[in-house]
Amino acid sequence: MHTSHVWNLFDLHWKKIVLGLLIGCGFVNSADAQTVGYFRKHQEFYDDKPIHYGFLFALPVTRFRLVHDDSFLTQDTTNRITSPVTVGFRFGFVMNGYLNDHWDIRTTPSVSLYNRAVEYEYGSGKKRRELREATWIEIPLLFKYKSQRRMNSRMYMLAGATFGFETNVRKRQLPGSDRLNAKSADLTVDYGFGFEQFLAYTKFSPELRFSHGIVNLYRTNDPNSTGSIRRLTSHTVTLYLMFE
C-alpha cells in the first residue's frame, strides 16, 4: 500500500509556481490601473490658433476719487463731499491674439452702463446729490501673461490701458438728484488676474480687473460748481465672466 505524505500535497512543479506568480501580478496591476481615472484634456491644441474670439458679461463696481480744492478748508458751507459706490453692467466681445507660450495681446471692446454720483453735505444739514447716468463705450488694450497649462486650467495676469467715451447721458434725473456735469472721455490704467478653465466646447474665464482713471473728469468752468472739488477721477473694480 502506498504511503501518502502531507508534503506531497504541496509538491508542485516550479514552472507552475512561476506561472501562478506572473498571473497573480498581472491581475494586481490590472486592478491598480482600473483605480486610476482617465483625465481628458479638452481642446488640447487650443494655443495653435493665433486669434480667438468670444463674448463677456461683467459687473463693474465704480465710484469717483475726489481731490478737494484748497478752498474746501476755508469755506464754511460744505462739510463733506463723497462719492458713493455704485454697481453697473457691462457686456462686450473678446479678441485674444497669441504672441508666444506665455504672452498674449487682448482687447475687450464693451458697452458699460454707469450711474456715478457725488454727494454734498452742508453745514445746515442739507444734502445734495449729483448723479450722472451714462452709457460708455470702452476699448482696452491689454497684455496678458499666462502660466503653463495644467491639464484643463491655468492662471494669468494682465495689464494695459482703456480708452472710453460716453455715447448717451440720461437727461431726466431721478427725484432728489441733480445732474453731474463731467467730461465725456476717460483714459484708465488697468491690471488684474484671472483663471482659465478649458471645457469641451469653450473656454470659461472668470477675471477680476482694477481700473484707475488718469483724466480729470471734473468741469471746473461749470457755473453750478461749488468750487470745492479740484480733481475727479474714476475708479472701478470689475468681475468678468468671459467665454472664448
User: Which of these ranges, 39-48, 70-79, 162-171, 186-195, has the smallest mean pLDDT?
Assistant: 70-79
pLDDT of residue 62: 95
pTM of this structure: 0.78
CATH number of 46-243: 2.40.160.20
Domain coordinates in residue numbering, the chain: 46-243
- Contact (CB, 8 A) for 184 and 140: no
Any idea how long the chain is? 244
Cell numbers of 162, please? 482703456
Contacts of 167 by beta carbon, 8 Å cutoff, 6+ apart? 134, 135, 136, 137
CA distance 170 to 174: 10
Q: Which residue has the higher pLDDT, 93 or 16?
A: 93
For residue 173, CA distances in Å to 115, 122, 184, 199 come to: 11, 21, 17, 45
3-state SS, residue 67: strand
- Position 55 confidence tier, pLDDT thresholds 50, 70, 90: very high
